[in-house]
Amino acid sequence: MPSYVAFLRAINLGASRKFPQADIRAAAETAGCTGVETHINTGNLRVTTPLRSRARVEAALERAFLADRGFEVPTVVFTPGELRAIVADAEALATVHGSVAMQYVSLLKEAPAEAARAEAEAASYDGERLVVRGRAVHLLLEVRDSYHTARLGNAWVERRLGVSTNRNLTVLQAIARKWCGPGT
């Protein structure tokens, strides 16, 4: 059975969107997933499922999360190979753009149209630049700890490119090491 890595959007923010790791795992199991694991309490999930379509995995998890929580939890799913490629791209971008102090990646539900991709990559501010690779939008920051003041953060990305959730590169690297070893 195939494995997938899922990223949940907008959980554990404020009092009304709590979703503890144990509850996430239980809800994923009700969606028919096995081998369910979580990584830190920010909505990172690994599942094995007989479903073979990313869209079907996302839909099954989203239905289970809505039933469990009573609110929608947009979920973005990748195969382990796709996540390894995103991390490799991120690491290469950091090397090519030597002034990168921090990098965040917005993970998109759907790849953007070419015009939207070009618009995103054309947008830049002092110390901020976006690079779009498929369903991953890399925010390259020249100043450490500047994400919360960045103009091109996930809210900007989501308004222009669609549903997304973001993680910093350190978290994605840790998840890739943990769940996406070579050949998985």
pLDDT at 184 (0 to 100): 46
Class of domain 3-78: alpha beta
- pLDDT tier for residue 97 given thresholds of 50, 70 and 90: confident
Token pair 């996430």 in the structure block, residue: 24
CA-closest candidate to residue 12, choices 61, 78, 65, 60: 65
Are 90 and 138 a contacting pair, CB within 8 Å?
yes
> For domain 80-179, which CATH number applies: 2.60.40, 1.10.3470, 1.20.81, 3.30.70?
3.30.70
Residue 87 scores a pLDDT above 70: yes
| Number of CB atoms found within 10 A of residue 2's CB | 14
Domain boundaries along the sequence of the chain: 3-78, 80-179
CA-closest candidate to residue 179, choices 52, 32, 40, 59: 40
Are 49 and 32 a contacting pair, CB within 8 Å?
yes
Percent of the chain scoring above 90 in pLDDT: 85
Q: Give the rounded distance of the alpha carbon of 182 from its chain centre.
A: 20
Percent of the chain scoring above 70 in pLDDT: 99
pLDDT single digits (tens) 27-49: 999 999 999 999 998 899 999 99
Residue 183 scores a pLDDT above 60: no
Per CATH, 3-78 and 80-179 having the same topology is answered yes
Sign of the Cα pseudo-torsion (129, 131, 136, 137, in order): positive
- The CA-atom distances, in angstroms, between 63 and each of 20, 52, 87 are 17, 17, 28
Are 31 and 154 a contacting pair, CB within 8 Å?
no
Q: Among 46-50, 81-85, 97-101, 115-119, where is mean pLDDT lowest?
A: 97-101
pLDDT single digits (tens) 62-75: 999 999 999 999 99
Mean residue pLDDT of the chain comes to 94
